[in-house]
Amino acid sequence: MAKNKDKEVKTNAMRILDKNKIPYETITYVCDAFIDGLHTAEKTGAPVEQSFKTLVARGKSKEYYVLVLPIAEEVDLKAAAKVLGEKSIEMIHVKDITAVTGYVRGGCSPLGMKKQYKTIIQESAEKYSEIYVSGGRIGSTIKVNPVDLARAADAAFADFTVKG
């Protein structure tokens, strides 16, 4: 696990944080292909409960939405649709991730997508001073304050995960 700010190749996500003068830490790890969030947390040493994944959904209106939630949790599609003001939403297909976001699977950050989509962050993020999200490419994680992340992503906090 290497931690550096100066030698890291900047991604769109990092540029947006820099532009907004938001402090963050970049954590890089060696990985050539997609691995899930649990394995990413294991590689970076990030606490699982503070590690968040970025998913993209499409509403009945054909609008796209960005959902940021803990890596060990699942989206409650009905709850998310209600929060987003949609009749229903569904997750986009893996093959569509790059076309919609500009990112590859496993490197999808809530910041710096091709377009600014309406974004919601699971409200549990607010209880942490720092959360971990993708840095915008495979092998890069960003540690950032969730309120700062929400400001940079123009996101709202809401409850939209499946309750066990």
Beta bridge partners of 118: 65
For the range 54-57, what are the long-range contacts, defined as Cβ-Cβ under 8 Å and sequence gap of 24 or more?
Answer: 54/108, 54/109, 54/110, 54/133, 54/134, 55/91, 55/108, 56/91, 56/92, 56/97, 56/100, 56/101, 56/108, 56/117, 57/89, 57/90, 57/91, 57/92
On the question of pLDDT at 40 being above 80, the answer is: yes
Of 37-46, 98-107, 135-144, the range with the lowest mean pLDDT is 37-46
Amino acid residing at 73: E
Over residues 37-45, mean pLDDT: 84
The SS3 call for residue 28 is: strand
Has this prediction a pTM greater than 0.85?
yes
pLDDT tens digit sequence for 10-30: 999 999 999 999 999 999 888
Using an 8 Å Cβ cutoff, are 66 and 118 in contact?
yes
Taking the C-alpha atoms of residue 73 and residue 158, their distance in angstroms, rounded to an integer, is 14
**CA separation for the pair 52, 46 (Å, rounded):** 10
| pLDDT tens digits, one per residue of 127-154 | 999 999 999 998 899 999 999 999 999 9
pLDDT in tens, 119-129: 999 999 999 99
In the chain, the percentage of residues whose pLDDT exceeds 70 is 94
